[in-house]
Structure 1
Amino acid sequence: MSELVAYRLEDGVATLTLNNGRVNALSPAVFDELNAALDRAEQDRAVVVLRGQPGVLSGGYDLKVMNAGPQQAVALVTRGSSFSRRLLAHPYPVVVACSGHAIAKGAFLLLSGDYRIGVDGAFRIGLNEVQIGMTMHQAGIELARDRLRGSAFQRAVINAELFEPRTALEAGFFDRLVPVGDFEDAVREAAAQLKGLNMLAHRNTKLKVRQALLEALDQAIELDQRHLG
């Protein structure tokens, strides 16, 4: 990996760290490296931890690409949706460790993990697409519909509500919330617990549980390619 995504393998855990500027903008180059890192983690048969820098997981798609034109925007959204689908079907457990803000596609990364850990603090979590003038893409709707609690789904998707970490936990963005000082230990504990699973059973069960979601995402990605922009 280059400086955009760092890869570290330690004791059966592959840590993928986003490192693309102040907000970890998700560009085509970042997705290239994330996919290469997932390939490597799969070869290493490792539990995956996807994380950002202190204070931010990701602020979402690279706006320079999104504003370059409809074709570029659709291509990037397609890459992002396909990456979320890949995370959801990854054969080994995926922990998404969020040490701060997660906005737009950053929040969708949370919704794509098997276990999501956040830190308490003055951070914002959510889907701001409608707020910034973007009609929510169909793949995003399907993913949010499946992973968010019913009481929060429409607030998050239609109203673009941004949540504080504690309300984000209630909404379904997180599985666990910890003080910042406990974050690293919590990530290690989660990875260690998941390492104890039977990986074949984990993979097969994951695919059965998420079959309807994965099929809906396949259809949504195709629909978005035809209609976005």
Structure 2
Amino acid sequence: MITVEKQDGAHIITMDDGKVNALNKDKLDALVAALADCAGDFGPAVIRGRKGIFSAGFDLKGFAAGPETATAQLQAGKDAILAILRHPAPVVTVAEGHAYPMGAFLMLAADRAIGTEGEFVTGMNESAIGMALPIYPMILGAARLNSTGRKAVATAQLFSPQQAREVGYFDDIAAPEDVEPLLAKVLSELQKVNPAAFNANKSAMNAQLIADIEASPLPEF
């Protein structure tokens, strides 16, 4: 489900379970492990999903399986966000489709997030499906979204790709046929950044955000 390949100096991490990339503990742990394996050099790490859907979010079966499984799944999501925020090289996310909550969280944690034009939506819809978000995506959203995006967390508004860029989920939007050229351009730019300076500046910029997320409690089930 999680594959990694080296391509022109970048590490391409692909999530593809053949379905909707619902993220459970095992998949999120595999994503964290893939990032750790990529940390040995300054090659940017690219996290991408399937065409049509980046991720449908957390696996709801995990929440229905009991308190222990639900808590472990939420902790794995927290660990994945922290792994991106701490990664010593740039992390780029590429959504060629829908990005629902946990998928949207990965976008918010990335150093550069690319979306694709189309009939796709991105955002946090927990209020619509009767769930309360854990604290850590709230902290991440407060740091990365504008006021419209922050208010939408409570109202469950989902955003088109262009709207998602405006509120802060994406940094760039491309037509489907332009995703690969845009990604190549972004990676080329990132590979010219001084590795030590990047790591120092990213670490400093994310230090308080990481501390706040680490300290945030998980919900009790």
User: How does the TM-score come out when normalised to structure 2?
Assistant: 0.96
Please name the residue that 2:89 is paired with. 92
Per the TM alignment, residue 32 of structure 1 is displaced from its structure 2 partner at its CA by 2.4
Letter of the 2:53 counterpart: V
Question: In 2, Cα distance between the equivalents of 1:45 and 1:200?
Answer: 9
Please name the residue that 1:172 is paired with. 168
Please say if 1:228 is aligned against 2:184: no
Contact 2:29–2:80 (CA under 8 A) maintained in structure 1? no
Question: In 1, Cα distance between the equivalents of 2:30 and 2:215?
Answer: 25
Per the TM alignment, residue 217 of structure 1 is displaced from its structure 2 partner at its CA by 0.3
Contact 1:80–1:105 (CA under 8 A) maintained in structure 2? yes
Write out aligned runs for 1:152-191 (5 A).
152-155=149-152, 157-191=153-187
Question: In 1, Cα distance between the equivalents of 2:68 and 2:126?
Answer: 18
Question: In 1, Cα distance between the equivalents of 2:71 and 2:127?
Answer: 16
Please say if 1:108 is aligned against 2:100: no
Please say if 1:203 is aligned against 2:199: yes
Runs of at least 4 residues off by over 2 Å: none
Question: In 1, Cα distance between the equivalents of 2:173 and 2:113?
Answer: 9
Letter of the 2:210 counterpart: L
Per the TM alignment, residue 44 of structure 1 is displaced from its structure 2 partner at its CA by 4.1
After superposition, the C-alpha distances for 1:148-188 in whole angstroms (9 at most, x for unaligned) are: 01232111x11111111111111100001111110111111
Question: In 2, Cα distance between the equivalents of 1:202 and 1:45?
Answer: 10
Specify which of 69, 72, 82 is matched with residue 69 of structure 2: 72
* Count of residues in correspondence between the two structures: 221
Same amino acid, percent of matched pairs: 33
Please name the residue that 1:41 is paired with. 38
Letter of the 1:131 counterpart: A
Question: In 2, Cα distance between the equivalents of 1:36 and 1:216?
Answer: 23
Contact 2:32–2:79 (CA under 8 A) maintained in structure 1? no
Let me know the Cα RMSD of the aligned residues: 1.1
Q: Unaligned regions of 5+ residues in structure 1, if any?
A: none
Per the TM alignment, residue 22 of structure 1 is displaced from its structure 2 partner at its CA by 1.6
Write out aligned runs for 1:25-36 (5 A).
25-36=22-33
SS at match of 2:23: coil
Contact 1:137–1:228 (CA under 8 A) maintained in structure 2? no
Specify which of 219, 224, 228 is matched with residue 215 of structure 2: 219
Specify which of 38, 49, 54 is matched with residue 51 of structure 2: 54
Question: In 1, Cα distance between the equivalents of 2:90 and 2:180?
Answer: 18
Question: In 1, Cα distance between the equivalents of 2:195 and 2:220?
Answer: 37
Contact 2:140–2:209 (CA under 8 A) maintained in structure 1? yes
Question: In 1, Cα distance between the equivalents of 2:111 and 2:99?
Answer: 17
Q: Unaligned regions of 5+ residues in structure 2, if any?
A: none
SS at match of 2:12: strand
